[in-house]
Amino acid sequence: MRYKDLHTLSVENPRFFWRQRMELIDWYEKPEKVLYEDEDGLYRWYRGGKLNTSYLALDYHVDHGRGRQVALYFDSAVTHTKRRYTYRELRDEVALFAGALRGQGVGKGDRVIIYMPMIPEAAIAMLACARLGAVHSVVFGGFAPHELAVRIDDAKPKCLITATCGIEFANVIDYKPLVDAALAEAEFPPESVIVFPRPHAKAGMKEGRDHDWHDLMHDAEPADPVPVDAADPLYILYTSGTTGKPKGVVRDNGGHAVALKYSMKTVYNINPGEVFWAASDVGWVVGHSYIVYGPLIHGCSTVLYEGKPVRTPDAGALWRVIADYKVSAFFTAPTAFRAIKKEDPDAHLKRLYDISSLRTLYLAGERLDPPTYEWLSQILDVPIVDHWWQTETGWPIVANPMGLEPHRVKSGSASFPVPGFKVEVLDDEGQPVATGEMGNIVIKLPLPPGCLPNLWQDTAGFKQAYLERFPGYYDTSDGGYIDQDGYVFIMGRTDDVINVAGHRLSTGEMEELIGGHAAVAECAVVGIDDQLKGQIPIGLVVLKDGVDVETAKLEAELIALIRAEIGAVAAFRKAMVVQRLPKTRSGKILRKTIRRLAVEEQIITPPTIDDPAIISEIRTALRKHRVGQYANLPAAEPVGDDV
User: CB pairs under 8 A, 24+ apart, for 378-383?
Assistant: 379/347, 379/350, 382/358, 383/359, 383/409
At 453 the pLDDT is: 98
- Rounded to a whole number of angstroms, the CA Rg of the chain reads 24
- Is residue 7 classed as helix, strand or coil in its secondary structure? helix
- Is residue 405 classed as helix, strand or coil in its secondary structure? coil
At 630 the pLDDT is: 47
Alpha-carbon span 264 to 266, nearest angstrom:
6
Q: pLDDT band for position 633 (50/70/90)?
A: very low
Q: What angle (nearest 5°) sits at the alpha carbon of residue 574, between those of residues 570 and 580?
A: 120
More confident residue, 511 or 638: 511
Q: pLDDT band for position 325 (50/70/90)?
A: very high
At 592 the pLDDT is: 75
Ranges in the chain annotated CATH 3.40.50.12780:
3-307+387-476
Could you tell me where the beta strands, DSSP code E, fall in 501-605?
503-506, 520-530, 534-543, 575-577
What number of CA atoms fall less than 13 Å from residue 474's CA on the CB side?
22
Q: pLDDT band for position 367 (50/70/90)?
A: confident
pLDDT at 305 over 80: yes
pLDDT tens, residue by residue, 169-224: 889 999 999 999 999 999 999 999 999 999 999 999 999 999 999 999 999 999 99
At 588 the pLDDT is: 62
Lowest mean pLDDT among 52-61, 261-270, 603-612: 603-612
Report how far apart the first and last C-alpha atoms of the chain are (Å, whole number): 40
Give the Cβ contact number of residue 204 at 10 Å: 11
Alpha-carbon span 305 to 167, nearest angstrom:
12
At 513 the pLDDT is: 87
pLDDT tens, residue by residue, 403-452: 999 999 998 899 999 999 999 999 999 999 999 998 999 999 999 999 99
At 584 the pLDDT is: 59
Instruction: Give the architecture (CATH level 2) of 502-630.
Output: 2-Layer Sandwich (3.30)
- Mind giving me the DSSP string for 252-317? EHHHHHHHHHHHHHHTT---TTSEEEE-S-TTSHHHIIIIIIHHHHHT-EEEEEES-SSSSSSTTH
Nearest CA to 339 among 142, 627, 531?
531
At 64 the pLDDT is: 98
The percent of residues above 70 in pLDDT, for the chain, comes to 92
Alpha-carbon span 131 to 98, nearest angstrom:
7
More confident residue, 366 or 639: 366
More confident residue, 608 or 200: 200
At 510 the pLDDT is: 86
Q: Share the mean pLDDT of the chain.
A: 90
Q: Are 280 and 118 in contact (CB under 8 A)?
A: no
At 600 the pLDDT is: 64
Nearest CA to 542 among 510, 512, 568, 576?
576
Ranges in the chain annotated CATH 3.30.300.30:
502-630
At 642 the pLDDT is: 30
Alpha-carbon span 37 to 454, nearest angstrom:
12
pLDDT tens, residue by residue, 230-279: 999 999 999 865 445 789 999 999 999 999 999 999 999 999 999 999 99
pLDDT tens, residue by residue, 348-359: 999 999 999 999
pLDDT at 637 over 70: no
pLDDT tens, residue by residue, 450-492: 999 999 999 999 999 999 999 999 999 988 899 999 999 987 7
CATH class assigned to 3-307+387-476: alpha beta
Nearest CA to 99 among 180, 220, 271?
220
- Mind giving me the DSSP string for 112-179? EEEE--SSHHHHHHHHHHHHHT-EEEE--TTS-HHHHHHHHHHH--SEEEEESEEEETTEEEESHHHH
Name the DSSP class of 29: B
Taking each helix axis from N to C end, the angle separating 551-565 and 507-515, rounded to the nearest 10 degrees, works out to 130
pLDDT tens, residue by residue, 548-573: 889 889 999 999 999 888 888 888 98
| pTM to 2 decimal places | 0.86
Q: How would you class 282 by CB atoms within 10 Å of its CB: exposed for 0-12, middle for 13-18, buried for 19 or more?
A: buried
441: which strand partners?
A: 425, 478
pLDDT tens, residue by residue, 59-90: 999 999 999 999 999 999 999 999 999 999 99
Backbone φ/ψ region at 208: left (φ over 0), alpha (ψ -120 to 50), beta: left
Which amino acid makes up residue 616?
S
pLDDT tens, residue by residue, 95-113: 999 999 999 999 999 999 9
Lowest mean pLDDT among 154-158, 301-305, 316-320, 340-344: 340-344
Q: Are 344 and 315 in contact (CB under 8 A)?
A: yes
At 209 the pLDDT is: 97
At 242 the pLDDT is: 47
Nearest CA to 569 among 522, 613, 528, 535?
535
